[in-house]
Each structure stands twice: as C-alpha cells, then as structure tokens.
Amino acid sequence: MVNALIRLAEVSNQESISFEPFVFWICGGLAVIGAIGMLISHKAVHSALWVALTMMNLAVLYVVQSAPFLGVTQVVVYTGAVMMLFLFVLMIVGVDASDSLVETIKGQRRIGILAGVILVSALVLLLGNSFSIQSAQLSDADSIYGGNVQGIAALLFGKYVLIFELTSALLITAALGAMILAHKERTSPRKTQANMAKELFASGNYQGPLPSPGVYARHNSVDTPALLPDGSVSEISIPGPIVARGVTKKINQSDLNEVQIISEGLGLVSSEEDDKQ
Amino acid sequence: MNPNAYLVLSGIIFSIGALGVLLRRNAIVAFMSVELMLNAANLAFVTGARVWGKLDGQAAAFFVMVVAAAEVVIGLAIIITIFRTRNSASVDEASLLRW
C-alpha cells in the first residue's frame, strides 16, 4: 500500500505524465465542498463528516505533491484519530449539540461573512503568483537518503532533533493535562440503590412505566407520540433524543377522529349526544 | 502543474476555516474549523517543500500535525469540562470569565 503510494508520488513527479491537474481539480474541489459543508451544516456530526472528507482529499493532494509519508500520516492522524475523537466527544455532548441561530452580537454574521470574503480575496491575490518557479523536482531530495520516508527521518533525527524532543515533551504534557481536565473529583458520597429509590419517590413525579409511543395513534413507531383519550399529545411517550433531534411526527386530523371514536366506544369521554340524552 | 494553484486552494480552505471560527457557535464545530485552518497551512508547507525541492517543508508539516494532535486532546478535554458544568457546548454560554 505504502509502496504503491510512493510509486504514485514518483510517477506524478515526472514531468511527462500530466494527470496531476485532474487529481488537483477533483480532490481540490471535493476539499472545498467539504469545507463549505462543514460551515453550513447545522448538526455538528454532519460537520465532522464533512471535515473528514476535506482531510481525505488533502491527503491525496499531499501524495500527488510527492509527500507520500505525509499523505499516510494525514489519513492516520487526522481522519483516523482526530476526527474520531471529535465524534466521540459529540456522542458525550449529545445529539442536540446543534447551533443556536440567535445572534448574540448584533450583525455578527454579516460582519463575519464580510471579513471572510475580504480574507479569501486577499489570500487568493497574494498567493496567486507567489512562486515564479513552475514546477520543481523533489525526487533529488528524496533520492539522497533513498526515499521520502528516509529523507524526513534524516531531517527529524538530524537537523530538527531538538524540536522533535520538544514535541515529545509537549505530547506528554498534553496527555497529563487531558487526564487532569477529564478527571472529576467526587465531592459527595456515592449513592446507593436505596438512596436512589428514596430520591425517586420523594420527587413526587409519576413513577410508573412511561406510556409507549404510538398508543391511540395511527403509527406505532418511536417517533409518533401517544395520544391521550381526549386527543392531546402525551409528551413523555417520546424518547428524549428523538425530541432533541426534532424528528417527532405530527398528529393529523384522522388520528384525532379515531381517538374520539375509540374513546366514545369505551365510554371514557362522554360525547355530546350522550349529554343531550 | 503550477504550484500556485495549491497555494490558492490552501488560502480558500484557510478562509473557510476562519469563517467557521467567526460564525459557528458550537464550540466543537469552531474547533473543527481550527483544524481545517491547520490543514490548509500544511498544504502550503507541502507545496513549498515541493517548489524548493527540499524536505524541510514536509518536516514542518509533520510538526504541525503533532502539535495539532496535542491541541485537539487539550481542547476537547476543556470542552467536556465546560459541558459538564454548564450542560452546553455553545461558546456563548461560557462567558463567566469574560471580564
């Protein structure tokens, strides 16, 4: 696999073969689409998946630019570790961790978009012709040490060995910091089952089993709220995550009519005709 | 292939990341945008390494990846700590230390 990537990088380095523009336009376009998708999707999980798409495409662009080692590292470190860590944290924080659309600072969105447009035009104008060299050969630098990975290793353990050691200190500090931040000191004694049962009944809330979704309704899927005999919706019949995701089904008039018929037949609700008699 | 195209692409992705930091309220999404900006910087490093024909740029991109990994660990731990005390991942909620 790695050898194939290195071979691809070598092939793309040769001037005669010019499939690089195709790879650039496809992968670059997908990377920009992923970045825009991250920006505009409302749910944080969708944003994470869009960013993963962008990072995968950037990895391909690294390989095409004769950096096969960085391409593999990008896939392993970014899409494999970092984005999955993001997804784990999103699972802890919950599915309802979507953005609020209320502006707390007035006009922040408009000013932000304006600043973004200025930044992108400035960067494009600045970077558009920064290199006058049309194309260079990295294969010479690779061949000194016998390959891309060997060349980077020679730099890491030779010229930049001090920085490399410092990053190891940084990683250890980061791991310790994360452990300290994620650690929760227990300030109250652990609750026993008896304590929890007492607490539950002391709260005075309804303690029986919750009504199942879809009772008296047309469907029995979990996203259909149960209807009470008078036709009102039972809020506690829907699981919390489904309410948080906002996918609860609406009640239509035919459901209400059925509920009325059933309620009258069972004598639960006295109908208007009964009142007259 | 003109290496400036890669630089322009990295500039566009960097700007979208900066826009994400400015516009999104969810702390996790804002953090993802920071990662996107780091990735754009990496693309510029790799392009530079290729243009100059030296591997130093690729080594720099490698160090950026290492620092980004460390930064993600700490940042997500901070977000979880804030979520635990405030029950929200919105950047607007964590305004207690503002001034």
Confidence at residue A164, expressed as pLDDT on a 0 to 100 scale: 93
Q: Are A27 and A60 in contact (CB under 8 A)?
A: yes
CATH numbers and ranges of domains, chain A:
1-96 (1.20.120.1200), 145-176 (no CATH), 211-270 (no CATH)
Q: What is the pLDDT along chain A (277 residues), one digit of tens a residue?
A: 667 766 666 665 555 457 888 899 999 999 999 999 999 888 888 999 999 999 999 999 999 988 899 999 999 999 889 999 999 988 888 755 555 666 667 788 888 889 999 998 988 888 887 777 655 566 667 777 888 888 899 999 999 999 999 999 999 999 999 988 888 777 888 888 988 888 888 877 777 777 777 666 566 677 888 877 777 777 788 877 777 777 777 777 777 787 788 777 776 655 555 444 4
Residue A110's pLDDT is: 87
- Determine the residue among B13, B22, B55 to mutate to test chain A binding: the one whose Cβ has the most chain A Cβ atoms within 10 Å: B55
Q: The whole model's pTM is what?
A: 0.78
Taking the C-alpha atoms of residue B76 and residue B31, their distance in angstroms, rounded to an integer, is 8
In chain A, residues with a C-beta closer than 8 Å to the C-beta of B68 are 77-78, 82
Write out the two tokens for A256: 């209400």
Amino acid A277: pLDDT? 45
Q: What's at A56, amino acid-wise? A: M
Question: A175, A100, A213, A61: which is closest to B3 by C-alpha?
Answer: A61
What value of ipTM does the predicted structure carry? Answer: 0.91
- How far from chain centre, in Å, is Cα B19? 12
- Cα separation, A19 vs A29, whole angstroms: 16
Asked if A131 lies within 8 A of B4 by C-beta distance, the reply is yes
CA A122 to centroid of chain Cα atoms: 30
Nearest to A128 among B4, B43, B44 (CB): B4
> Within an 8 Å CB–CB cutoff, is residue B19 touching chain A?
yes
pLDDT of residue A16: 46
The number of beta carbons lying within 10 Å of the beta carbon of residue A272 is 7
What is the pLDDT at residue A211?
75
Q: Residue B82's domain spans which residues?
A: 3-86
Number of domains in chain B: 1
Query: Does residue B91 fall inside a structural domain?
Result: no
**CB-CB: which of B19, B56, B62 is closest to A70?**
B62
Could you give the CA distance from residue B20 to residue A120 in angstroms, rounded to a whole number? 13
Would you state the pLDDT for residue A129? 77
Q: What is the mean pLDDT of each run of 10 residues along chain B (99 residues)?
A: 87 93 87 94 92 88 93 90 78 65
Query: Does B96 map to a domain?
Result: no
A30, A130, A163: best mutation site toward chain B, by most B Cβ within 10 Å? A130
Between CA A38 and CA A31 the distance in angstroms is 11
Asked, for residue B12, whether it belongs to a domain, the answer is yes
Please indicate, yes or no, if residue B93 is contained in any of the structural domains: no
Tokens of A192: 């026993």
Among residues A248, A246, A223, the alpha carbon closest in space to that of A98 is found at A246
Asked if B32 lies within 8 A of A65 by C-beta distance, the reply is: no
Closest CA to A138 of B4, B55, B2, B45: B55
CATH number where B16 lies: 1.10.287.3510
Asked if residue A249 lies in contact with residue A223, where contact means CB atoms within 8 angstroms, the answer is yes
CB B64 within 8 A of CB B56: no
